[in-house]
Chains A and B, each alone.
Chain A
């Protein structure tokens, strides 16, 4: 077997792919969140900024390439997970009475479930925003940019949509809480002191992303009731 392939086929190689794609997505989340924070500005300002930001992302070739990388990474992350799950199923035998859960955190054992929730969320997310932006007919704002802002705000003013969104962000939060730490370990950060710092960073990061992404729809939702 070619050496490179051997690396990928080993359990450790597979987990590396998982870790690297995961960390790349973590980085993306930060950028995504920073962009979305514009939605928290006063309405007029937010609309102009957000729409021009969206237009910038849509029109730039460099960003386009990045976005294809992103899709590829996302797909790899999911497919690799699928591959790992299959292999793990093959390695294990069920216990008649199982109480192993006491020895670990529930979210660390259920990354596949949290991941599936996120995947479903992404379908909704892409359909409602990305697809409409790309292929739907949108009104234009005063600067002549597609008015994504209004679409987003309209969506977030509906209660059930905000619910789905917040629940999904919780799933993301738990996914990150384990995923970030696990990824860093998989890459080989073994020094106890740095491992501790990175763990703390991971926790702060997960909370920030979860609260950040949840805050926006909640803010938009509740703002509609304030005259």
Chain B
């Protein structure tokens, strides 16, 4: 069993000023997941008559992209290739002090405590992250041959779960990895090439409108991405963008 000290960001709403609040937890099983530790804390807060900590979470198996926190100053915590829900307490030392903050970026306003608004990502996809095919229009699937390598490479880009760790860990709060992964996924496939120009211009424009910063290629996003999305997706986005000359047609 472990004893841990938590410093958790508490903030009532988007407007109010937040602060770190101290909590002490005893009897933490090292096999607990990080969110189960948070559940335990919340349970004790409820029984003490305090307001539990709000945080985003859902599937708890690293695929829905809901959860995300800065743990000890790192997106999704100290272990690479994980979401918070897959992080386990065995990664921390007994008596450790753990800082927990929300993902921060101007484009991700805080709703309450650790809960943030990531709807900017949805709007980026709305601006062009799709193939314009309506139900019923599709041709027989095997008429479209796609090599094994191409399909695998497209999958690598498509694996993004939209958690926002890339933005949170970026010193500029850039959404380049998220945006580029979708652009790359679709442009790698023959069915996605038709709209490539429009897509890249619109998605980049939306990314800028949302107020994300520039990509400085520091590669921090790739390092902290739970799906190991490659930074080369960003280069692909740049290539597709530059090919168009940036002229909106």
Contacts and interface: CB of A to CB of B under 8 A. Distances in A.
Chains A and B directly touch (beta carbon < 8 Å): yes
Contacts of B130: none
Contacts of A97: 7, 20, 70, 72-73, 99, 101
Contacts of A6: 205, 246, 248
Interface in B7-33: 7, 9, 20
B113 interface: no
A182 B240 CA distance: 17
Interface in B62-95: 70, 72-75
A11 B208 contact: yes
B37 to A, nearest CB: 18
Interface stretch (B43-51, B137-145, B168-176): B168-176
B214 A15 contact: yes
A103 B217 contact: no
A100 B165 CA distance: 11
Question: Residue among B214, B223, B239, B243 with the most chain A CB within 10 A?
Answer: B214
Contact of B214 (A11, A95, A102, A181): A11
Contact of A187 (B9, B220, B238): B238
Interface string B175-201: 010000000100000000000000000
A91 interface: yes
Contacts of A105: 218-219
A103 B169 contact: yes
Contact of A95 (B104, B218, B223, B246): B104
Interface residues of A, number: 46
B99 A12 contact: no
Nearest to A3: B247
A92 B217 contact: no
A99 B74 contact: yes
Interface string B140-176: 0000000000000000000000000000010111101
B74 A87 contact: no
B245 interface: yes
Interface string A47-74: 0000000000000000000000000000
Which secondary structure characterizes the binding site on chain A?
helix
Interface stretch (A25-33, A133-141, A189-197): A189-197
B34 interface: no
Interface residues of B, number: 55
Question: Residue among A96, A97, A192 with the most chain B CB within 10 A?
Answer: A97
A185 to B, nearest CB: 4
A12 B204 contact: yes
Contacts of A9: 208
Contacts of A189: 235, 239
A145 interface: no
B40 interface: no
Question: Residue among A13, A103, A111, A186 with the most chain B CB within 10 A?
Answer: A103
A103 B240 CA distance: 27
Interface of B: 7, 9, 20, 70, 72-75, 99, 101, 104-107, 169, 171-174, 176, 184, 204-205, 207-208, 211-220, 223-224, 230-243, 245-248
25 contacts: A3-B247, A4-B246, A7-B247, A10-B204, A11-B174, A11-B214, A84-B214, A87-B213, A88-B172, A88-B173, A91-B211, A92-B105, A93-B105, A97-B99, A99-B74, A100-B169, A103-B219, A108-B217, A185-B217, A188-B235, A188-B236, A188-B241, A188-B242, A190-B232, A190-B238
The 9 A-B pairs with the shortest beta carbon distances in the complex, nearest first, are A188-B239, A7-B246, A99-B73, A91-B213, A190-B235, A103-B220, A182-B217, A97-B99, A104-B218
